[in-house]
A and B are shown apart, each in its own frame.
Chain A
Amino acid sequence: MAEEVVLLDFWRSPFGMRVRIALAEKGIKYEYKEEDLRNKSPLLLQMNPVHKKIPVLIHKGKPICESLIVVQYIEEVWNDRNPLLPSDPYKRAQARFWADYVDKKIYDLGSKFRTSRGEEKKAAKKELIEALKLLEEQLGDKTYFGGNNLGFVDIALVPFYAWFKANDAFGPLNIERKCPKFVAWAKRCMQKESVSKSLPDQNKVYEFIVERRKKLGIE
């Protein structure tokens, strides 16, 4: 039943995208509820009183919060198809480590790059490129971080590609030139329906960023 699974989300959130991709990979039907982050719904505040953030997965009335925890939950409940994590404990620990690395580095650096100017922007760009290069190294010659199939790290990271593409007009980050392997990997991911249907329209994202920068007085 679709109403057994509800996702509270925000169209632009890379964290929400992770959950959407995981649900799609597992072929789970769900009800999507768009949140207005400036006017959070009573349901969101009730389901995530601690952080008051999206995404929140509500399964049979019970909430699960924090995107990587949600993806692991989805993996464990719908464990009969399309595994998202490796079965070997060491490889699982490695997958969790690199998804955690994405959480610790990519979002914050990306934000800094997007919203800063001058020296600060330069420093954020340098660090972000270094982080992406490290991830490239981790990917190696594999099709995906998960090997032959989309895995935990792919799901954790690919939503940020949408951001980088949209932001390239404001950098530029030049990731096509500096991190070609990362871009090639992201394009491979985008060929999967579970990913392309979960990521927002690039033009919509671009328009939003233009507005935001105007508001922050960056233009």
Chain B
Amino acid sequence: MADEVVLLDTWAGTFGMRVRIALAEKGVKYEYKEENINKKSPLLLQMNPIHKKVPVLIHNGKPICESAIIVQYIDEVWNDKAPILPSDPYERAHARFWVDYVDKKVYPAWNKMWLSNEEEHEAAKKELISIFKQLEETLGDKPFYGGDTFGFVDVGLITFCCWFYTFETYGNFKMEAECPKLIPWVKRCMQRETVSKILPNEKEVYNAVVEMKKELESK
């Protein structure tokens, strides 16, 4: 019986992109369903009643939620090619730690920056930059976070890169100036078709964010 794989997601969602990249790396065919966050489908509410969020992977009718958990699931089920997590337990713990770091830090800092008033804005911007500086330091001289191969942390972080233009514009800074060592890593990841075909154009992301902010402010 062929596997039935469905992904509930939104086009600009950094967490969903992780899942799309993982599925592409494994060559898994799936049905993509775009969700409207302001009008969630009955299927989404049924498949993720706890958090009511995307992404949700539905594999043969059974849902898996939370992007980092989904990527690990994909790695474990389609374990015949393109390993995403390292095989060594210590390296795995290290990879999980840094994806957890991205999860705990990036989005909250961004949220603080774009929703803040003038006073808080500078502090939020500094925080966001310091987070990326830490990630730059963690990469070091390696071609990928996974070492020689594209891995869990690369998948976990690269999706935020299509948001760089948005961060830069709202924060009035340049990622290239603040974290120059990250840029070659971004370019290296973008050379992979699995990444370049999935990440949306960063100006489109920015326009969508501008629209979102207008909507929020008009409420």
Contact = CB atoms under 8 A, between A and B. Distances in A.
Nearest to A134: B50
Contact of B90 (A66, A73, A96): A73
Interface string A86-100: 000110110011001
Given A50-B101, A101-B50, A90 B73 contact: yes
Contacts of A90: 59, 62, 64, 73
Contacts of A73: 89-90, 92-93
A50 B69 contact: no
Interface residues of B, number: 21
Contacts, number: 51
B77 A97 contact: no
Judged by DSSP, the binding face of A is: helix
A34 interface: no
A76 B89 contact: yes
Could you say which of B65, B66, B89, B92 has the most chain A C-beta atoms within 10 Å of its C-beta? B89
A62 interface: yes
Could you say which of A50, A92, A97, A134 has the most chain B C-beta atoms within 10 Å of its C-beta? A97
A93 B69 contact: yes
B92 A93 contact: no
- The number of chain A residues touching the other chain, given as a range, is 20 to 34
Interface of B: 50, 59, 62, 64-66, 69-70, 72-73, 76-77, 89-90, 92-93, 96-97, 100-101, 134
Judged by DSSP, the binding face of B is: helix
Nearest to B79: A89
Interface string A39-77: 000000000001000000001001011100110110011
A93 B72 contact: yes
Contacts of A77: 89
A96 B96 contact: no
Nearest to B64: A93
A96 B100 contact: no
Given A59-B90, A64-B97, A97-B69, 6 more contacts: A73-B89, A89-B77, A90-B59, A90-B64, A97-B65, A101-B50
Contacts of A70: 93
